[in-house]
């Protein structure tokens, strides 16, 4: 295969991310101690808040905590105490301090991909938070470009390939999110490899469109078979 441009998602593709948000959510439910709502129903209430707030504020641990605080105020059945909000605020710190745990296959496969193809990190979220994770991951040097955007929609993919002068026919988006990685990349005319992660954030899930430009990999290591033939 001739040299391809590989755009690679970061959170839950290169390293674990959503599990730390889920752990914070579990602690939030314990703090809330709602008398009737199940955790799934609390999650639905939080999702509604997140959908609205993400449009204005974007993503990341600090915004997540803001959403949790708003959710707590809406659902709490007793007089809120300042210590409740201090505990919620502490969840951001917990998420931001987590060590970067690479997904299986990443450490071995990334150098091999980089030897034959041009790699770009393409991630959305809070700029400082995402760049800090790339720096702490120890794998940033395998990438020619690191691109952090507010949203990965079709326009963002169009902008990226135009700015970096990539040929869409030899540019692939690789990631775990149907909503941010696969569907918008395909809509922008790129190729894509879907690498599912069983703990993908609910708001990133979406039905994947059918396309002959789409492949599915069972894990990051399978990218070697696709892009290196072994």
Footprint on this chain of Mg ion (rule: CB under 5 A): 9, 11-13, 176-177
Query: Judged by CB, which is closer to Mg ion: 63, or 176?
Result: 176
The phi, psi pair for 75, rounded to 5°, reads -110, -15
Among residues 40, 228, 58, which one has the least CA distance to residue 152? 58
Could you write out the DSSP letters of every residue in 109-129? HHHHHHHHSEEEEEEES-HHH
CB of 12 to Mg ion, least distance (A): 4
- The answer to whether residues 142 and 119 touch, using CB atoms and an 8 Å cutoff, is yes
CB of 177 to Mg ion, least distance (A): 5
Query: Judged by CB, which is closer to Mg ion: 88, or 174?
Result: 174
CB of 62 to Mg ion, least distance (A): 19
- CA–CA separation, 8 vs 210, rounded Å? 20
CB of 206 to Mg ion, least distance (A): 13
Show the tokens assigned to 120: 């770009």
Count of CB atoms situated within 10 Å of the CB of 16: 16
Query: Judged by CB, which is closer to Mg ion: 67, or 200?
Result: 200
CB of 65 to Mg ion, least distance (A): 20
Query: Judged by CB, which is closer to Mg ion: 32, or 190?
Result: 190
- The answer to whether residues 204 and 178 touch, using CB atoms and an 8 Å cutoff, is yes
**How long, in residues, is the chain?**
230
Query: Judged by CB, which is closer to Mg ion: 171, or 200?
Result: 200
> Hey, which residues does 122 pair with through a beta bridge?
147
């Amino acid at each position: 295969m001739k040299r391809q441009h590989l755009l690679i998602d970061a959170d839950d593709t290169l390293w674990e991310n959503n599990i730390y948000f889920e752990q914070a959510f579990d602690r939030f439910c314990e703090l809330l101690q709602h008398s009737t709502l199940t955790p799934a129903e609390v999650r639905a209430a939080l999702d509604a808040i997140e959908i609205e707030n993400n449009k204005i504020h974007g993503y990341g641990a600090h915004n997540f905590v803001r959403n949790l605080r708003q959710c707590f105020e809406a659902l709490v059945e007793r007089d809120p105490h300042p210590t409740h909000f201090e505990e919620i605020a502490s969840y951001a710190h917990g998420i931001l301090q987590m060590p970067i745990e690479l997904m299986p296959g990443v450490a071995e496969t990334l150098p091999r991909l980089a030897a034959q193809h041009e790699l770009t990190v393409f991630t959305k979220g809070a700029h400082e938070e995402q760049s800090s994770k790339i720096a702490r991951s120890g794998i940033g040097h395998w990438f020619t470009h690191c691109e952090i955007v507010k949203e990965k929609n079709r326009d963002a993919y169009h902008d990226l390939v135009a700015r970096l002068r990539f040929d869409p026919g030899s540019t692939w988006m690789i990631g775990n999110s149907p909503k941010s990685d696969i569907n918008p990349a395909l809509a922008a005319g790129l190729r894509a490899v879907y690498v599912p992660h069983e703990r993908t954030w609910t708001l990133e899930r979406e039905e994947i469109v059918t396309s002959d430009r789409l492949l599915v990999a069972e894990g990051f290591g399978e990218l070697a078979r696709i892009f290196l033939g072994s």
